[in-house]
Structure 1
Amino acid sequence: MSQAPPDLSMSPPPSDQPSPPLPRRSGTVYSLHGADRPDEYDWMRQPPAVAAHLAAERAYYEAMTMHTAPLRERLTKAMDARLAPVERSVEWTQAGQVHWTETPQGAEHERLVRRVPGGNKKFTQEILLDLAELAGGSPYVETGVREISPCGTLLAHSVDTVGEEIYELRFRDLATGRDLPERIARSYYTGAWSADSRAFLYTVPDDLYRPHEVRLHRLGTDPNDDPLVLREDDARFELTVAATRSGELITITAASRDTTEVWLVDAADPAAAPRSVAGRTPGTEYRVDHDAARGRLVVTTDRDAPESQAVTAPLDDPGQWSPLHPSRPGERLLHADAFAEHLVLTLRRDSAPLLRVVPFSPGAEPYELHPDLPAGRIAQVHNHTYDTGSIIVETGSYTEPTRWWSVDLATGGRTLLRTAEAPCHRSADYVSERRWAPAPDGTLVPVTLARRADTPLDGTAPCLMYAYGAYEAVDEPTYDPALATLLDQGVVFAHAHVRGGGELGRAWWRGGRLDTKPNTFTDHLAVADWLEAEQLVDGHRIATRGLSAGGLLQGAVFSRRPGRWACVVAEVPFVDVVTSMLDPEVPLTVNEWEEWGDPRRPEEFAWMLAYSPYDNPPPPAGRPPLLVTGAVNDPRVLVHEPAKWVARLRATADPARSAPVLFRVETGEGAHTGPAGRHSRLRYEAEVFAFVLDAFATGG
């Protein structure tokens, strides 16, 4: 049975509200392309200068939200009640042994566990890595790399206890449970073991957080002597490293927003010079897997196929490609995974994900695997073995906890392996569905709706919208105890899959980037208007939320139509678009030009300036409540962006006719996406939802 909704009554906000921080203003003016842009808060770009101001902002936020504290506690308690006592993943086989992850009762962080033989032919579990131990005294901890060696006796793992996404790389002897003496202080995501488990390839970020080098560490040697394997000097490109499932090759991929180049490294000879597969052609992407049984590469590429196709290439001449699986109308091929007897394609069609299994045996027919739930997801997970007759897939939705299945590749038959435990949740009490809303240009925008079954779509319920809309990224629907708790309050959740994302393929991304970026904003507004016009939700109680590039979206729709929203939540928002994209010393700027534009060019400057939230505040009156977040250790959206935006919004508002702007800034450990621990994350979600519910209750 679902638990009863908690008591959401709350104290009224204080009548004698404190005054917000009043930052000093400077006379900085940026001049470019005949336009002068005053920037009175440019001084906030210097971290030491802004520290005291950020502390004052956090204190103001705490004071202004004090009246919601009882509500936050009730929401947190309801969310915690939905957590499994022990949160456990599906089991998978790697290096000949069975592994899983679990989070013990009351714990914040997960641990990696495997099954080992015990006495009397029984088995016992062995903890390989416990994030709580790695955290030490820090409230924050994340791993960047967690790779088990081919021999199964070593673990490469990296840890960040600050939130800035720079990881210390370590190597653990799994027989003793102790880390080896050598540590690599500065590494980034991805890595791969050599075939003999005696060396490890890893990426190194530059001062702007771009992984620009791949180095080789041999166990037992000084990391200062690690040789360079590959360096990427073009600042638009980032490097990633991965072992192929066959174990025979390692790939190094250099990727910009629309171009890639892949190199091959022999896993048995990792010190040998990498070989480029097909060079680098501007505007062409390709990804590589190894089909060892047939001695060839399987390549996923958009060459001659905008939505991508699968081709093959001989190992001795990898630039010569032959057709394998052509592009199909209405489909986006994301990647092709080679197994000994089957090719598994990951695709999207009509906004939904699917898998297609293509047997290599002549005459055998392909078949498809679809989500087993309305508005659900399906994906491969934990498939590390090349010579296998089955794979693991996971399915789920916003209202259905994750289920893991074993799929027989020969027949397509599914066997349920595990269902994630979800106390106090009965899936039949909730509904997920996909609908379509018309944009101003007639384009239909997919919308995922989630709600309690007893919450009517008759124009009376409040609604929280969410959207991202950038980088061809797709946020697949996943059950979350926080969201389920919000749905229990009679709120409808609407995920608007706006242009700029990848829900409808590469064309959907291209329809919301560079000069077409405004489509992202108009799509989101159109979905809100459609929700009201169709009398699905209460049009006066629609809130909107988004993070990072989705925070930019929130800033844009806050400026364009502030009266549309009951409140707005802009998390770590990328809002000072022009200034950031003009500064190549800001992390990630150069490789973002292909997503947003390069403002050094007049035309691109013009289109970015037209929507940049920092440069386009809304009218002084009629602004709804706005919650902005930021983190001092965030390397993706530097904290000065939301800090400057908040200051300018307050300076341009009529405080008597607009709601306050609140800035929840994380001044200590914390990352781009918020708290790391599962209980800490729920407490954060309770803060956000309390802000939203308070706005619904008070009418903004």
Structure 2
Amino acid sequence: MTTEQRPPEARQEPHDWTEHGVTRPDPFAWMHAADAPDVRAHLLAERSWYDAAVAHLHSLSTDLGSEMVGRLPATELSPRWNRSRFYYYTETPAGRDYPRICREIRNDSAVNTTDSFSSDPRDDDFGDVTDRSAKAPEILVDVNEVAAGQDYLELGLTLVSPDENLLAWSADTDGDEVYVLRFRDLRTGEDLPDEVPRTYYGAAWSADSRWFFYTVHDEAYRPFQVWRHRVGTPVADDVLVKEEPDERFELRLRATRSGDWVVVWAESNTTAEVFLVDAHDPESGPRRAGGRREGVRYRVDHRRHPGGEDLLVVVDDRTEQRLMTSPVPGPDGLDHTAWTEARPEDPSVHLERADAFGGGVVLSVRTGGSHQLLLLPHDDLAGTGTPVTTRVPGGGVHLAATTEYDVDRIMVEDESWLSPPVWSEVDLATGELHEVLRREAPGFDAAAYAVERMLFPSKDGVLVPATVMRHRDTPLDGSAPAVLYAYGAYGYTFEPEWDPALPSLLDRGVVWVHAHVRGGSEEGRHWYLDGKLAAKQHTFDDHAAVADGLAAAGLVDPDRIASRGLSAGGLLQGAVFSQRPDRWCAVVAEVPFVDVVTTMFDETTPLTITEWEEWGDPRDPEQFGWMMGYSPYDNIPPAGGRPDLLVTGAVHDPRVMVREPAKWVAALRASDPEWSPRCLFRCEVGAGAHVGPSGRTGHLAYEAEVFAWLLDRFGMVDPDTTSKEQQ
């Protein structure tokens, strides 16, 4: 990049928003029409500028990417999950980006009733694992073939029917989370003519495999309808099962592991209502399973046990959750007065979910700063149970896919950012573990790295936990640069997951810190509640406090601290960029939600109304004031003294409209022309999703780009190498 090169200069057109007597200038409002030719031209210019600005890092990012891919196993296998006649697993062949969904005939006579496999393994239910047979597998779907000729491919769901003769599967080829649903006859390997062009996540089969339930999202990307399809009939004949008129709520859908019920639940940020459809009578209507009470969320699972059957209900009607039991509703339904408390609230335990099996109940909880499982017998749900805890530093253990109900063992997954996942069978009665599969990571030695949990005081005195990761040869003596990552919204917890990219940064002497700021649920539900709505500023204060604490304690180089986050975490980056520009040497804001007030006023923008209970409703003057206090687009920092900034966006992103990062970048550059070349905007102008490119190597290549830019900002890139690339 030469000094004559300048980034694109977006034109400014006078435009003002006036609400509650406050006028907000928005000279880049013309970018709201993302499909307009002038907007498209501007985004293409931004991408060209980005590509030119980072061209000197091409060799480094290529090397980083090669290292990351080198930590992937040549052939990547999942544990297998059992059904009545077959067991299933995924296999990603050597040199391929996507998995193949496979199955093989079982040699035992176990009986199963339902399955649930999706693109998110934490939502799956795998069965027990034994040695692979030597028999060639039957390939149900080779995702590499589906992805051939596509710039992007993401599977939505793959659900095998109870009779194991059909596969419902869906795919998105743009990154806009609109999935085409198809049905494959597993006896012939051919897809049926049935094709639903617009579906979302969540689906379930009827018990007889003749009917399929699926969700549809509206133009605002809110899943608001559940439909029932009769396999082999025209999609035009599908029947609407449930529609949610309240735009604060989304409809979700799944089958119970018992195979007896289809669960449909309407859920907003604060309130939920659950319905059950009899999987053995799929044409019957939904039954209320607890009613709707403002401010109370709950989810249910179906339990068959020696004493009969009932529902397990995890309910948010206290600061932390409690466990209830409920009768199975009859055709007339029931409300919450039929529930009975089985396990009271424990302020030290964040109860996430309850899963029923024939051999007992599994509670997924967070306590003591980590995720663990609690195994309970059916006749003692209030007891101490048997805990299953992580065996790796900074890790967490989760229920993995266990599809069968009538089992006495479950599959669990244990991993951390610096420990590849290990899957084990756990005896529900004793808690005894038997390891069945360990993810390979060629050339990686977990013992070479250190993981520590530290606490730092926030502005209000609250101690904020952070996970600090480094190579053991990197001292915490104030000499090493650091990257601080955080999210902090929706009560979402970034659980530690193996990251084959991260060692490439740590091996170069960078410290990686994951700050567990308020707004997430790392420390429980109260941690979330203290970082939303009027308390949202706590999220930003916590993040800065961790950085300040690291510097004040002499642990990392105070002049080389970078910050990174995505989506709501991108909002966090925008806020700390504006509020504390002095703290960072660089900021990476990925698909950042930065035009908060404008978006929350625009009810036509996807997800806006459903978000009011998270950020606030700007139609209310007080809540408008909350958001105006931190909205990055409305709080541009003064010129001078700004850190370098890398922003990302995607034209097909349905969660953060590309106009938000585009407008923010334009406003920042216009307010400080001298600094503007240090602000880069990496825009996905073709197919691409909220979280970046698809495919395991495609995503690692993206990570390599970001890491190369960070290393350059830290002054850790050989200038001789970069100068040669520029020639």
Deviation per CA, 1:431-469, whole angstroms, max 9, x where unpaired? 112111111111111101111111111111111110000
Match of 1:549 among 563, 568, 590: 568
Superposed displacement of residue 687, structure 1: 0.5
Distance 2:523 2:646 in 1: 30
Distance 1:28 1:221 in 2: 52
Deviation per CA, 1:599-649, whole angstroms, max 9, x where unpaired? 111001111011000010111001111000000000000000000000000
Distance 1:443 1:583 in 2: 35
Inter-CA distance 537–365: structure 2 relative to 1 (3 Å threshold): closer
Inter-CA distance 446–362: structure 2 relative to 1 (3 Å threshold): closer
Residues 18 and 24 in structure 2, CA contact (< 8 A), matched pair in contact too: yes
Superposed displacement of residue 113, structure 1: 1.2
Residues 212 and 232 in structure 1, CA contact (< 8 A), matched pair in contact too: yes
Residues 202 and 214 in structure 1, CA contact (< 8 A), matched pair in contact too: yes
Give the corresponding residue for 1:45: 32
- Give the stretch that moved more between structures: 555-564 or 288-297: 288-297
Superposed displacement of residue 122, structure 1: 6.1
Q: Does 1:584 align with 2:603?
A: yes
SS in 2 for 1:486: helix
Distance 2:397 2:473 in 1: 27
Give the corresponding residue for 1:270: 282
Letter in 2 for 1:544: S
Give the corresponding residue for 2:11: 24
Letter in 2 for 1:394: E
Superposed displacement of residue 81, structure 1: 1.4
Match of 1:463 among 460, 478, 482: 482
Residues 313 and 325 in structure 2, CA contact (< 8 A), matched pair in contact too: yes
Residues 488 and 520 in structure 2, CA contact (< 8 A), matched pair in contact too: yes
Match of 1:685 among 703, 707, 721: 703
| Structure 2, gaps ≥5 residues long | 108-132, 720-727
Match of 2:458 among 403, 416, 439: 439
Superposed displacement of residue 505, structure 1: 1.2
Inter-CA distance 163–658: structure 2 relative to 1 (3 Å threshold): closer
Distance 1:39 1:323 in 2: 53
Superposed displacement of residue 92, structure 1: 2.0
1:80-159 alignment to 2 at 5 Å? 80-116=69-105, 123-159=135-171
Give the corresponding residue for 1:10: none
Give the corresponding residue for 1:232: 244
Superposed displacement of residue 479, structure 1: 1.5
Match of 1:260 among 272, 275, 285: 272
Residues 438 and 444 in structure 1, CA contact (< 8 A), matched pair in contact too: yes
Q: Does 1:279 align with 2:297?
A: no
Letter in 2 for 1:549: A
Inter-CA distance 123–42: structure 2 relative to 1 (3 Å threshold): same
Deviation per CA, 1:505-561, whole angstroms, max 9, x where unpaired? 111111110010000000000000011111111111111100000000000000011
1:157-236 alignment to 2 at 5 Å? 157-236=169-248
Q: Does 1:696 align with 2:696?
A: no
SS in 2 for 1:440: coil
Superposed displacement of residue 325, structure 1: 1.6
Give the corresponding residue for 1:376: 395
Superposed displacement of residue 292, structure 1: 2.2
Deviation per CA, 1:235-260, whole angstroms, max 9, x where unpaired? 00001111001000110010000100
Deviation per CA, 1:49-81, whole angstroms, max 9, x where unpaired? 300000000000011111111111111111121
Give the corresponding residue for 2:642: 623
Distance 1:654 1:241 in 2: 50
| Structure 1, gaps ≥5 residues long | 1-13
Superposed displacement of residue 123, structure 1: 3.0
Distance 1:209 1:658 in 2: 34
Distance 2:627 2:290 in 1: 34
Q: Does 1:312 align with 2:330?
A: no
Distance 1:190 1:211 in 2: 9
Distance 2:64 2:340 in 1: 56
Residues 486 and 517 in structure 2, CA contact (< 8 A), matched pair in contact too: yes
Distance 1:398 1:17 in 2: 42
Residues 628 and 663 in structure 1, CA contact (< 8 A), matched pair in contact too: yes
Inter-CA distance 362–15: structure 2 relative to 1 (3 Å threshold): closer
Distance 1:225 1:236 in 2: 29
Residues 57 and 664 in structure 1, CA contact (< 8 A), matched pair in contact too: yes
Match of 1:672 among 679, 690, 694: 690
Letter in 1 for 2:71: R
SS in 2 for 1:123: coil
Superposed displacement of residue 329, structure 1: 2.5
SS in 2 for 1:473: coil
Residues 18 and 63 in structure 1, CA contact (< 8 A), matched pair in contact too: no
- Give the stretch that moved more between structures: 39-48 or 173-182: 173-182
- Give the stretch that moved more between structures: 256-265 or 15-24: 15-24
Distance 1:102 1:193 in 2: 24
Give the corresponding residue for 1:5: none
Letter in 2 for 1:503: E
Give the corresponding residue for 1:36: 23
1:559-578 alignment to 2 at 5 Å? 559-578=578-597
Distance 1:450 1:307 in 2: 30
SS in 2 for 1:295: strand
- Give the stretch that moved more between structures: 257-266 or 355-364: 355-364
Residues 200 and 216 in structure 1, CA contact (< 8 A), matched pair in contact too: yes
Superposed displacement of residue 373, structure 1: 1.4
Superposed displacement of residue 350, structure 1: 2.5
Superposed displacement of residue 376, structure 1: 0.5
Distance 1:516 1:552 in 2: 15
SS in 2 for 1:270: coil
Residues 116 and 123 in structure 1, CA contact (< 8 A), matched pair in contact too: no
Letter in 2 for 1:70: S
Q: Does 1:346 align with 2:364?
A: yes
- Give the stretch that moved more between structures: 595-604 or 451-460: 451-460
SS in 1 for 2:539: helix
Inter-CA distance 468–526: structure 2 relative to 1 (3 Å threshold): same
Distance 2:680 2:29 in 1: 20
Give the corresponding residue for 1:288: 300
Give the corresponding residue for 1:524: 543
Match of 1:298 among 273, 287, 312: 312
Inter-CA distance 95–445: structure 2 relative to 1 (3 Å threshold): farther
Give the corresponding residue for 1:7: none
SS in 2 for 1:481: coil
Give the corresponding residue for 1:477: 496
Inter-CA distance 17–563: structure 2 relative to 1 (3 Å threshold): farther
Distance 1:322 1:29 in 2: 55
Size of the aligned set, in residue pairs, is: 683
Inter-CA distance 595–95: structure 2 relative to 1 (3 Å threshold): farther
Residues 398 and 432 in structure 1, CA contact (< 8 A), matched pair in contact too: no
Give the corresponding residue for 1:4: none
SS in 1 for 2:293: coil
Superposed displacement of residue 361, structure 1: 4.1
Letter in 1 for 2:172: D
Distance 1:483 1:348 in 2: 24
Distance 1:149 1:220 in 2: 14
Residues 359 and 365 in structure 1, CA contact (< 8 A), matched pair in contact too: no
SS in 2 for 1:181: strand
Distance 2:9 2:419 in 1: 46
Inter-CA distance 67–432: structure 2 relative to 1 (3 Å threshold): same
Residues 405 and 418 in structure 1, CA contact (< 8 A), matched pair in contact too: yes
Match of 1:66 among 23, 45, 55: 55
Deviation per CA, 1:106-136, whole angstroms, max 9, x where unpaired? 1111121112379xx9633111111112224
Distance 2:504 2:77 in 1: 21
